[in-house]
Every structure is written in C-alpha cells, then in structure tokens.
Structure 1
Amino acid sequence: MGKPKVATVWLEGCAGCHMSFLDLDEALVDILDAIDLTISPITDFKDYEFPELEVGIVEGGVGNHEQKEIAVKLRKRCKVLMAWGDCAVFGGINTMRNWIPKEEILSYAYLSTPSSCGGSPPSDSELPELLEKVLPLNQVVRVDAYVPGCPPSPEAIAHALKAVLAGRIESIPVALLHFD
C-alpha cells in the first residue's frame, strides 16, 4: 500500500495556517515523507480534481459559491476532513461582514470609499458570487477534526495530522493551542 494521499485547500483565509504547516521546519520533512501531498497551495496544482484521499485539510471560511463547491467536492473525496485555523473552525475575522448586507458591502468597497473613483462592483461571470454570510466549514460539510488557532501552532498541526494519519481523532492539548 502506498502513502496516504492528503490534500490541503485555502479558502477564505490569509495563508497563516499553511505558513504554520511550513514552520514545522525539520518535522515537516518527516511528515512529507509519510504522505503523498496531492493538491495544496504549497504545490503547483492547476485544478481541484481531488483523487481519493485519506485526509482533506481546509484553511479558511466559506465565503463564496466557488469555495462552497470546493469544500463539498473535497468532503466527497476524503475519508477524514480537517478544519485548520479559526476561519475554518469558527468563520474567523471574515465573519465581520455577516452583519452587513452583501450588496451594501460591495457598494461601499467599490463605490463609496475615497479610493474607488468611478469604480463599480465586480460583475465578471468568472468571479465567484459572495455568499450572504461567511460560514465556518462545519456549516457546509461534515468536519471530522478541528485545529483551532490564528494561526494554529505548528505543533498543534503536527499533533492533529499525525493522530489522523494513525487513525485517531484527538483533541489538541491546551499547551499546543495558539491564542495570539
């Protein structure tokens, strides 16, 4: 049997969770030796055609229709789905827009600010439409494991990923949680 296939995606977040993953430094080498990282923002992937996966990992909340489709597609292709970081776990700072109607946000951002002279809200069909609210991942799909933090500490990511790869879902020890 080959290495377990793992994919990571970055939805509505800042890349801090993936940076924490990279901050594992030497421990990252051992993890990457143990898995087949198929799709990830840290690899050069061209699409979201997920193979059958042992583990799917999501960073970021779900804020537009394309992100929702990616989350659903990933959930269908993986045995275990992990939510990395406060945006995926709770919705994160992006949920600040949830109290303002979507049209009002777009109008303010593209028409009312001093830097938006002659602007217009985006209307290109290639751009995904915003959802009415930013959602944590578990409001879109079933999530099996959570790694909170903004960003989660590299040690918390390693702890959770190693547990999942060993067939266990574990809570993150408090000492590994990152509250910065």
Structure 2
Amino acid sequence: MSTQPKITVATAWLDGCSGCHMSFLDLDERLIELVEHVEIVYSPLVDTKELPARVDVGILEGSISSEDDLEKARLFRERCTRLVSLGDCAVTGNVPAMRNHFKLADVFDRAYRENVTLQPQIPTRRVPALLTPVKPVHGEVKVDVFVPGCPPSADAIWYVLSELIAGRMPDPNAVTRFGA
C-alpha cells in the first residue's frame, strides 16, 4: 500500500460520445493500482454531484458546444491545478465541430424536424444554449496536457496518469496520435 498522499482527479465529458471515459475504464486491472494513488472526486463514473474547490488533475473529454460545456470548462480550469484535454473532440473539436460549417438554425431543423416522425419540434425546455462555433477545450481555457486519440487508448491514459502521479509532465505524443 502506498504511503504517498493520493492525488485528486476530476473528470467530465462535454460534447462527445463518452468514448474517452470508456477507454479510461479499459484500464481494467490497472484501475485497482490506480486507486492506490488517485482519489476520483468528481466524474460521470462516480456519484459526486459537485466539483470540489481544489483538484490536482482535471480531465475533460469532448468539445465546448454549449453554454453548459463552457461553464464546466471554466470551472475545471479555475479549480484544477493541471487540466488535461482528453481525446480528439477536446483537442480539436473533432466530430461535434462539424456543425461549424452550417447555420445553427439548419442544424436544429435537420435534427428536430427533418429526422423526426412523431411530433417534430425544436425543444425549448432544459436544453442548454448552443454556442457557435464549437471549440476545442483550449479554445476557451488554458490546457496543460493534450491527449489526442479517438478515443485515446487505455495505455495512453495510463501513461499520462502515471506521469502526473509521479509529479512529471507527460508527453502524450510518445504514446498516442490523432484518430488512434
């Protein structure tokens, strides 16, 4: 058992598919080792409802596509000592940013009217306002570590976390690349 204090980690997914979080879970048995060094204090993987005031490492998956995404990214930057942009959506905007080539009204019409058979209508309640354009995380807040991949492999995530746990800045280019 480790005698070093655990580092705190928070994760969130913005506009993306959650594939990066699935890759995180693909750490499999390494998750047991990780738990000896890390306390996950906020994540879709745990039942915490509020981001703590101070977190050692924040990990954001997905692009900034809505006011909710922007608010969460800003909160993570404010409260996290190190901020990791995880996956191609967070690093480049990737698939969510494809809508940047279209008018927002046309995107809504396509999604909520043209492709709906029952009650086609644009939702008005509980839908966060969409931003134009969609941006990668670093388009709005300072990012310390960029981990490309769609999704990044469990090995790449393990490398980045292991380096951060050891107090070193990782070089994700050594273990991953865009789209892989």
* Corresponding position of 1:65: 67
| Unpaired segments ≥5 residues, structure 1 | none
Q: Which amino acid aligns with 1:72?
A: R
Are the counterparts in 2 of residues 160 and 172 from structure 1 also a CA contact under 8 Å? yes
The equivalent residue for 2:42 is 39
Alpha-carbon contact 1:111-1:117 (below 8 Å) kept:
no
Cα deviation code 1:69-109 (max 9, x no counterpart): 00000110010000110000111111110100111111222
Structure 2: runs of 5 or more not aligned: none
Identity over aligned residues, as a percent? Answer: 38
1:7 aligns with 10
1:100 pairs with one of 99, 102, 120? 102
d(CA) in 2 for partners of 1:138 and 1:173? 17
Alignment of 1:26 with 2:29, yes or no, is: yes
Q: CA deviation at 1:159?
A: 0.6
Q: RMSD of aligned C-alpha atoms?
A: 1.7
| Residues 1-180 of structure 1 mapped to structure 2, 5 A cutoff | 2-46=5-49, 48-113=50-115, 115-124=116-125, 126-177=126-177, 179-180=179-180
Distance in 2, matches of 1:4 and 1:164, equals 9
More displaced 10-residue stretch of structure 1: 168-177 or 95-104: 168-177
Q: Distance in 2 between matches of 1:69 and 1:14?
A: 19
One-letter code aligned to 1:129: A
Amino acid of the structure 2 residue aligned with 1:41: P
Contact 2:10 2:51 (C-alpha < 8 Å) held by counterparts: no
Report the number of matched residues.
177
Question: Aligned in 2, Cα 1:58/1:77: closer, same or farther, shift over 3 Å?
Answer: same
Q: Taking structure 1 as reference, are residues 118 and 88 closer, same or farther at Cα in structure 2, changes over 3 Å only?
A: same
Provide the C-alpha distance between the structure 2 equivalents of 1:7 and 1:57, rounded to a whole number of angstroms.
6
Looking at structure 2, the residues matched to 85 and 32 of structure 1 have their Cα atoms a distance apart, in angstroms, of: 22
In the alignment, the residues of structure 1 paired with residue 15 and residue 100 of structure 2 have an alpha-carbon distance, to the nearest angstrom, of: 14
Q: Aligned partners of 1:119, 1:73: CA distance in 2, in Å?
A: 35
Aligned-pair CA distance for 1:16: 0.8
The 3 A distance-change label for structure 1 pair 140 and 175 is closer
| AA at the equivalent of 2:128 | P
Aligned pair in 2 of structure 1 residues 176, 100: CA closer, same or farther (>3 Å)? closer
Q: For 2:75 and 2:176, how far apart are their aligned partners in 1? A: 30
Q: TM-score, normalised by structure 2?
A: 0.91
CA distance in 2, matches of 1:178, 1:33: 30
